[in-house]
Every structure is written in C-alpha cells, then in structure tokens.
C-alpha cells in the first residue's frame, strides 16, 4: 500500500486556555511570509463547528490547523499534494511539518504560551478512504510501517496504539507515549533522516 495524504496531529496541553480567534492573524502572517516555502493561500474559520476543524491555514501542498475533531485539540498537518518517496518518507515529512508548525506556534508571543504540545499524544491519519479504508486489512498492512516510523520518532520509548473502528471514519492511529517529549526533541529524532521536499 502506497500511502499519500498523511496527516499528523499533535495534541495540546491545557486546551481550555487556547483562544482559537487569536490564531487567525497568526496564520495570516504565515501567508504573508509564505512560511516554510510552501504556497499558503487563505485562512478558514470553523470555530462555530462543534468538535470540528477549528482554524485552518489552507495551502496548495498542505493545510495547517489547530483542530478540535473529537474534542481533542491539536496542531494538525494535512498533506494534500502527492509526495514522492517511500511510505516512511511521507510519514517523516508530515511529522516534521507538524512539529515545526507546532514549535512556531509555541514560540509566537501573540499566543502568550497557550499553544503547547502535550508531550505524549500524537495522532496519525491517512486522508484517503479509497487508498486506505478504515479496516482491519489496512491495519494489518500498516502493522510494519507505523511501528517503524514511531521507532524513529520516539526511539526506544514505550507507547500505546489505539484505533477508531468505525469504517466510516478515516484510518487513524492514536499514539500515547509513556515518556514526555517536547517538539524540539522529536524534531531532533528525525533530523538525521533523509529530508523530503515539502513541495509536490
């Protein structure tokens, strides 16, 4: 199975402190300076949607958001453009992009330190129901790819995986690490790996 449209979401600590409205000018400033060399286009405000996508920075190659799907608030990277390479390359690229975005939000003084990675909770999604339906068969196929990726991201740390079983949902994996990590450490764990271009 060749994965495309990989999403990585980093859960936030103290989600009740996060002001989603404050993200709108921040994301607009990313458009102005074209953060990360990607083509960033617009900001969509879905704060009115209960347990929805939150505030989304729309790009050509990918979207960035502070997403509240399932009432689990997190910084989410949603790859839209096809990416060359292996499945591991695509998982690594999405994780690097999500971590770099979260790190930038953590450091933005306009957000007053309210955006902060929880240190343990990560979610992976494949945003393509035809390619990777949410089924036991897909889980079996990815039974090698996901642990291989997580061994690179988390090292020898123990973690627990859980899955949504509703076939109507995207295939997703929830990862709960036993150790606390910051975004810089996780980026450092990936930095020695071959970088993948962000443009598609």
The predicted model scores a pTM of 0.93
Rounded mean pLDDT of the chain? Answer: 93
**For the segment 125-143, what is each residue's pLDDT rounded down to a tens digit?**
999 999 999 999 999 989 9
**The pair of three-digit structure tokens given for residue 83, joined into one six-digit string:** 């990416």
- Classify 6 in phi/psi space as left (phi over 0), alpha (psi -120 to 50) or beta: beta
Residue 172: half-sphere exposure toward Cβ, Cα within 13 Å: 20
- Bridge partners, residue 150, by sequence: none
pLDDT (average), residues 177-195: 86
Q: Please name the helix (run of DSSP H) or strand (run of DSSP E) that holds residue 142, with its range, or none.
A: none
């Amino acid at each position: 199975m060749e994965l495309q449209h990989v999403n990585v979401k980093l859960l936030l600590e103290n989600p009740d402190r996060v002001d989603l409205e404050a993200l709108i000018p921040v994301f607009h400033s990313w458009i102005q300076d074209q953060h990360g060399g990607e083509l960033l286009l617009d900001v969509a405000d879905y704060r009115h949607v209960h347990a929805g996508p939150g505030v989304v920075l729309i790009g050509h190659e990918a979207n960035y958001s502070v997403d509240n799907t399932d009432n689990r608030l997190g910084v989410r990277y949603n790859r839209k453009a096809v990416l060359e390479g292996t499945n591991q390359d695509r998982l690594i690229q999405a994780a690097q992009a999500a971590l770099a975005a979260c790190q930038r939000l953590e450091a933005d003084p306009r957000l007053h330190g309210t955006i902060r990675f929880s240190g343990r909770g990560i979610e992976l999604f494949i945003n393509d129901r035809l390619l990777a339906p949410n089924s036991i068969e897909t889980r079996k196929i990815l039974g090698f790819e996901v642990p291989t990726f997580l061994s690179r991201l988390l090292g020898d740390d123990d973690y627990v995986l859980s899955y949504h079983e509703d076939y109507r949902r995207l295939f997703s994996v929830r990862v709960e690490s036993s150790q606390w990590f910051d975004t810089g450490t996780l980026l450092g764990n990936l930095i020695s790996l071959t970088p993948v271009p962000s443009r598609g």
